[in-house]
Structure formats: C-alpha cells, structure tokens
C-alpha cells in the first residue's frame, strides 16, 4: 500500500515537470532568446516571475529548462541503460575468464566518476546537449552493467534455468523468457534513481559552465547566472533550484515506490 | 589475508595503469589538436607545426603516452600551456585546499549521519523519526551547489557571520583564517553528504533492530543498550562501512563543484579553469590525480571492510568478490 502511494506521489511530481516541458514545446510566454524585458524586472506584470540580468523572461527560461533537464535525464538513462544492460547480460553469461575481464573493466570505469568523465568531454570541444547526454550515459552504463551482472548471475543459479537448458531451450530464449522478466523490476528501480542523478549531473555541469550551451536553457546555468544578484533578485536564485528538487525527489519517490511494489518482503521494514 | 592483499594490490596497480591509459586515449580521441590551445586564429602552417613540436603532439601516440606515463612515475605532470609553470607543484598547492575540504566535510557528515540515522530508525514510528527520514529524502535530491548558494546568501550576505568565498593567500599560515574560509563550504558538502549517509545508517539500523539475535539477547536479559553495543553495532557497521568509500569519493566530487561556488583555489577550480583555457596538461594532471584518489579510497575501503567483518575474512581464500 505504501509503495503504491510513494509511486503515485513520485509520478505526480515528475508528471508536473513533464507537463511543463511538453507545454514549452508548443507555447512559451516569450522567445527564450528575447532580451527586451529589461534587466532584473521584479515578478509581476508582464513578466510573471520577473526577468534575469540579461533581460530574459524567467518563466520562459524555467519552462525551457524543464525540457533540457528531462532530455538530459531520460537521454542519459537510455544510453546508460542500453549499454549497461547489454554489457551486464554479456558479463553474466560469459565464461569465467571473460567475466573477470569485464568485471575488472567495469570496476575501473566506475572508479572514474561520471562527473569527471563529462567534464573531460566538455574539455575537448564546445559541449552540446548530445555530448553531455553521452558522457553522463557512459558513466552510468558501468553502474547499470555491474548491477545487471549480479542480477543475471542470481537468476542463472536457479534450478529452473538448468531445467530449461536440459529441455533444450536456447540461450536467447532463456534471456527473453526467464532472465529479463526476473531482473527488470530491480533494473527499473535503479534506472529511476539514475535518472535523478543524471538530472543533477547536468545541472552541476551547467553551473560550472560546462553543460549544453545556449540556446539550451538550463536550470543549472540559471542558478549560476543568478548567484551574483541573489539579494536583489532572489526569485532567479530560488526557482530553478526548487524545480530541480521537485524533479529529483519525484524520480527518487518513483524508484522507492517501484522497489516496494516489486519486492513485497521489503514493504514492512522500509 | 596476505593473498587477498596481494590480489587487491595487483588490481589497484592494474586499474591505475588502465585509468591513466583511458584518460590519455579519451583526451586524444576527442576532436581538436591540443596544440590549438597555443595558437591564435589564422596561424600559419609553420606556426602550427612548431606548436605541435613544442608540446609533442606530432609524435606517435604510443610514444606520447610513454613520455607522459614515465613523467607521471616521476610525479612530473608536464608544463601548463597557459602559465608555462610545471603542473605538479600547482596540483599539490591546490590539494592543500581540496584535501582538508573533503576530509572535514566527510568527518562532519559521518558525525551527523550516524546518530541521526540511528534515531530515524530507532524511533521510526514517532513523528520525529519520520521527519528525519523525509528530510534525508529531500537532502539527496538537492543540488550541492544550490545549498552552497543559499547558505552564502543567509550566513555571509545577510548575517555577515562567515566569509562568502575565497581563501587566504598564505594558505594555512594562519590556520584560524583558513578554517573560517572553509566553514561554509564544509557545512554545504556535509549537509548533502549526510543526507545519503543517514539513509544507509537508518536502513542498517532497521535491519539490526528487526534481527533475531538482538531479540534473543534481550530475552536472555541484556539491556537494550548492552545488546546494541555487543551485537548491534558491529552488524550495523558492516553495510555502512562498505559504502563509506564510495561516499568519500562522492564527497571529493562535491568538493570539486562546491569550490566554484566559494571561489576556493582547489583542484576543482583548477580543472574548470584548465577546461576553459584548453590547457591539456592541467586537465590531464588534475583528472589523473582525482581518479587515482578515488581508486585508492576504494582500495582502503575494501581493506577496512575485510578487517571489520569476520565473515568476509573467512572467504578470503576464494577470490571472487
């Protein structure tokens, strides 16, 4: 019961940001590049949340930023999930020697922090939204792969796998019929958590000036730009942060809810 | 133990080497010649060739890697393209900020998280237990640099209690001033780190509180405190210690970002500056030192975990981790 409630609350928060991002595709109060609003106009009037120090409408920037945050989060999870699950399945099924080699490689990539990897990509050329997504997704894929490997090993040790093998089922069918259905709930929980982390990573990169460049609006960059004027125009320094927290709390709640729903034995203690 | 130590050390050395290779390859695979950093727009082919010769990017890749690697072994990180100063001494000067920042934040986070996480589990049915849990849920979702911005606004700009940023020019010559400069950054990182630690401590404590051995000990007449001290603590410590290494590495990454909020002259700001100026030796040097740091932390965490958990020690002979 608690799992369902947590899951619903998380979906509501994520849905809120998703709705804002979808609306921003068809309607924005102003053009995101429009700098005619006057510097640091206070909230109210023509600009509901005021303008930033470049004269851009803050509400417009926030709405367009929702798009960037979601693309970064979902894109990274797609890249990381696809690579990670494939790699993890390979390692899980591999012979001992290949498995050892893959595991060692994964440990090294995991030791190499995602944020540093993304900064490295930004170092080489002007970052684009695509390169940020790729960098965060690559860093994430090692973590997903390690988890997938453990889950696969656990399933393969079951008697019903031996039974399937002896009755002549092929490995691809075993993956499709026995392995994936058994591991996807835990994978989904982890991917939901990773989505939140990817959103935070994009924000941190943008804050450092290494994220997707304009015209992509980014909550992290908005915060960086608002830092110098936090006393005179506090809205710009608060609103993007609140939205980041809403989105990440949302994805974390979705993950917690999924975990409780997927594993009834955990429901009581946590 | 000796055999495990040998295996783990070999793995550490292997991963150090692989990480160095990966870093080098990644930076070289990305488009753009590092020599471009030395040149202005519209440089002649002769100037480009001279720049490439000067920084060695005209040599074969394997030779470049070998030169860089043997340099690393002698702690020679090359020379900055921009300042023309050796990178090594600059990195160690920056470490004098980043290492204390990381360790102080980590110590504060652990000191806060252990009692708070315990109470959150022990009193999970009371309102304050639930409140602590909700706050930690919020804490893991907050961007660390935003917390820094908010703390600066309140404690530095409004209340004027602590400096908003910067670090004394003479480093640690006056420890008091250096510590004051680090106060807000340390609190910022510790707040965010303790949130995730609280969740681990709480979960580990819940497992112990629901365990059969604790109930047995209580039934045999132990007091709650006595049973927790004799049986609970060590059992709860195992999962927490196993993630402390990762948490310490995450704290270090938090420091990299938070240094920019407080304009601290640490490794993080050095990396951001290096990236902005396409200063490859600086970027390589900082990334190598950071990655080595993370790998060594992982090594130390594994060893500590083996020492604390006797069940793991029994399995040492069989290598699979």
Q: What confidence tens digit (pLDDT) does each residue in A88-133 have?
A: 988 888 877 888 888 877 877 776 777 877 887 766 666 788 888 9
- Percent of the residues in chain B that have a pLDDT greater than 70, as a whole number: 91
Q: Which domains does chain A have, with CATH numbers?
A: 2-27+53-269 (1.10.3720.10)
Question: What's the DSSP call for residue A41?
Answer: P
Q: Do the Cβ atoms of B15 and A249 come within 8 Å? A: no
Of A104, A210, A220, the CB nearest to B275: A210
Contacts of A121 in chain B (CB under 8 A): 30
Does B26 sit within 8 Å of A111, measured CB to CB? no
A249–B141 CB contact, under 8 Å: yes
The more confidently predicted of residues A260 and A55 is A260
Q: Are B30 and A119 within 8 A, CB to CB?
A: no
Averaged pLDDT score across all residues of chain A = 85
What pLDDT score was predicted for residue B212?
85
Q: Quick one: pLDDT at residue B32? A: 59
Q: What is the mean pLDDT of residues A6-32?
A: 89
Residue B172 pLDDT: 79
CA–CA dist B83, B110 (Å, integer): 39
pLDDT score of A53 more than 80: no
Helix (H, G, I), strand (E, B) or coil at A133: helix
C-alpha distances (whole Å) from A95 to each of A82, A152, A153, B229 are 22, 13, 12, 44
Nearest to A208 among B26, B142, B260 (CB): B260
Chain B hits for A206, Cβ within 8 Å: none
CB spacing of B260 vs A207 below 8 angstroms: yes
Q: What is the DSSP letter of A264?
A: G
Contact call for A196 and B295, based on CB within 8 A: no
CA B33 to chain centroid: 30
Query: Which residues in A lie closer than 8 A to residue B32 (C-beta atoms)?
Result: 124-125
H helix runs in chain B, sequence order: 2-29, 45-55, 61-73, 87-122, 127-139, 144-151, 175-209, 212-219, 224-227, 233-261, 267-276, 280-308, 310-314
Query: Where is pLDDT greater, at B25 or A80?
Result: A80
Per-residue pLDDT for A269 more than 50?
no
Domains of chain B, each with CATH number or no CATH: 91-313 (1.10.3720.10)
Share of chain A above pLDDT 90, in %: 31
CB pairs under 8 A between A and B: 130
Please, what is the end-to-end C-alpha distance for chain B in angstroms? 14
Q: Does A85 touch chain B (CB under 8 A)?
A: no
Residue A34 burial by CB count (10 A; 0-12/13-18/19+): exposed, middle or buried? middle
What is the ipTM for the molecules in this complex? Answer: 0.87
A104/B15 CB distance under 8 A: yes
Task: State pLDDT tens for residues A219-264.
Answer: 999 999 888 888 888 888 899 999 999 999 999 999 988 888 877 6
Res A77: pLDDT: 96
pLDDT at A1 exceeding the cut of 70: no
Decide if B249 touches A, using CB distance below 8 A. Answer: yes
What is the model's pLDDT at position A15? Answer: 93
One digit per residue, pLDDT tens: chain B, 321 residues? Answer: 778 888 888 888 888 888 888 888 877 766 556 666 666 666 777 777 777 776 676 777 788 888 888 888 888 888 888 888 899 999 999 999 999 999 999 999 999 999 999 998 888 888 888 888 888 888 889 999 999 999 999 988 888 888 887 788 777 778 888 888 888 999 999 999 999 899 889 888 888 888 888 888 888 888 888 888 888 887 888 778 878 888 888 888 888 889 999 999 999 999 988 888 878 888 888 988 888 888 888 888 888 878 877 676 655 444 444
């Amino acid at each position: 019961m608690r799992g369902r409630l947590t899951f619903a609350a998380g979906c509501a928060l994520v849905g809120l940001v998703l709705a804002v991002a979808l609306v921003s595709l068809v309607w924005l109060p102003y053009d995101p590049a429009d700098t005619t609003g006057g510097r640091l106009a206070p909230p109210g009037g023509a600009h509901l949340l005021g303008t930033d120090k470049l004269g851009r409408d803050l509400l417009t920037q926030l709405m367009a930023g929702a798009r960037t945050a979601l693309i970064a989060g979902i894109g990274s999870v797609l890249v990381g999930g696809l690579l990670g699950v494939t790699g993890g399945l390979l390692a899980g099924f591999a012979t001992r020697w290949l498995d050892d080699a893959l595991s060692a490689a994964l440990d090294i990539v995991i030791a190499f922090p995602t944020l540093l990897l993304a900064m490295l990509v930004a170092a080489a050329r002007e970052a684009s939204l695509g390169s940020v997504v790729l960098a965060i997704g690559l860093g994430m894929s090692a973590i997903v792969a390690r988890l997938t490997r453990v889950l696969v090993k656990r399933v393969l040790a079951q008697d019903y796998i031996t039974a399937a093998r002896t009755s002549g089922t092929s490995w691809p069918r075993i993956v499709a019929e026995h392995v994936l259905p058994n591991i996807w709930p835990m994978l989904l929980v982890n991917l939901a958590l990773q989505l939140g982390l990817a959103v935070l990573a994009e924000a941190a990169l943008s804050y450092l000036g290494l994220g997707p460049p304009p015209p992509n609006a980014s909550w992290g960059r908005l915060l960086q730009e608002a830092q110098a004027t936090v006393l005179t125009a506090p809205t710009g320094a608060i609103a993007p942060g609140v939205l980041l927290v809403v989105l990440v709390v949302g994805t974390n709640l979705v993950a917690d809810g999924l975990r409780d729903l997927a594993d009834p034995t955990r429901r009581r203690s946590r | 133990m000796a055999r495990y130590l040998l295996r783990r050390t070999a793995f550490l050395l292997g991963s150090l080497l692989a990480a160095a290779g990966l870093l080098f390859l990644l930076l070289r695979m990305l488009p753009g010649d590092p020599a471009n950093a030395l040149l202005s727009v519209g440089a002649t082919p002769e100037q480009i060739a001279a720049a490439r010769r000067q920084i060695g990017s005209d040599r074969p890749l394997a030779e470049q890697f070998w030169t860089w690697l043997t340099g690393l072994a002698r702690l020679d990180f090359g020379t900055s393209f921009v300042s023309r100063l050796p990178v090594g001494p600059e990195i160690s000067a920056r470490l004098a900020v980043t290492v204390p920042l990381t360790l102080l934040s980590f110590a504060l986070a652990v000191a806060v998280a252990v009692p708070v996480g315990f109470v959150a589990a022990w009193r999970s049915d009371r309102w304050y237990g639930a409140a602590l849990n909700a706050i930690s849920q919020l804490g893991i979702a907050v961007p660390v640099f935003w917390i820094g911005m908010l703390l600066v606004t309140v404690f530095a700009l409004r209340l004027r209690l602590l400096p908003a940023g910067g670090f004394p020019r003479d480093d640690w010559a006056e420890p008091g001033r250096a510590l004051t400069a680090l106060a807000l950054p340390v609190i910022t990182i510790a707040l965010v780190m303790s949130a995730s630690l609280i969740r681990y401590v709480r979960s580990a404590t819940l497992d112990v509180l629901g365990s059969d051995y604790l109930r047995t000990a209580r039934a045999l007449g132990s007091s709650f405190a006595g049973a927790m001290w004799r049986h609970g603590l060590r059992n709860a410590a195992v999962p927490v210690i196993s993630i402390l290494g990762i948490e310490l590495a995450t704290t270090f990454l938090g420091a990299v970002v938070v240094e920019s909020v407080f304009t601290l002259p640490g490794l993080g700001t050095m990396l951001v500056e290096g990236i902005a100026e396409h200063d490859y030796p600086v970027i390589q040097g900082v990334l190598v030192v950071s990655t080595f740091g993370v790998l060594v932390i992982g090594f130390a965490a594994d060893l500590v975990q083996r020492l604390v958990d006797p069940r793991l020690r029994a399995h040492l002979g069989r290598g699979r981790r």
